Amino acid sequence: MNFFKSIFGSSEENNKKSLAWNPLNSMEQLDEIIEESRSVCAVIFKHSTRCGISRFALNNFEASYNIPEASAKLYFLDILTYRDISNAVAEKFDIVHESPQLLLIKGGKVVHNESHGQIDAREIAKFV
């Protein structure tokens, strides 16, 4: 039953975690994220709002995310609306674009990235 809830949701939406997502919607933010990552890890989640797999990966990530807010800052990138920023992320960090995709930036560099079914908040915690 939990499998179906993770795909289709449930009427128990009040139990869902609310993560402190910061929208990534300007090119200037990329340099700010790099600088910021020298003191706190930055996580960029690249999401396609039209893709069921991307929605599934996002829901699973949010459900299992348990990193203190002071240890990592979360950024949400809607790749359909901000495709130019998504391309800039791929170029700046020398990472092949995928969606859904999660990048963990520490010390100005990507230290870990995952895509699709490999996106796992517990794995990210190992790098923070």
| Cα separation, 38 vs 96, whole angstroms | 23
23: which strand partners? 76
Provide the terminal-to-terminal Cα distance of the chain, rounded to the nearest Å.
32
Per-residue pLDDT, 17: 60
Which tens digit of pLDDT belongs to each residue from 20-65?
A: 999 999 999 999 999 999 999 999 999 999 999 999 999 999 999 9
Q: What is the mean pLDDT of residues 67-71?
A: 91
CA 101 to each of CA 18, 70, 118: distance values in angstroms, whole numbers, following the listed order: 20, 22, 9
User: pTM of this prediction?
Assistant: 0.85
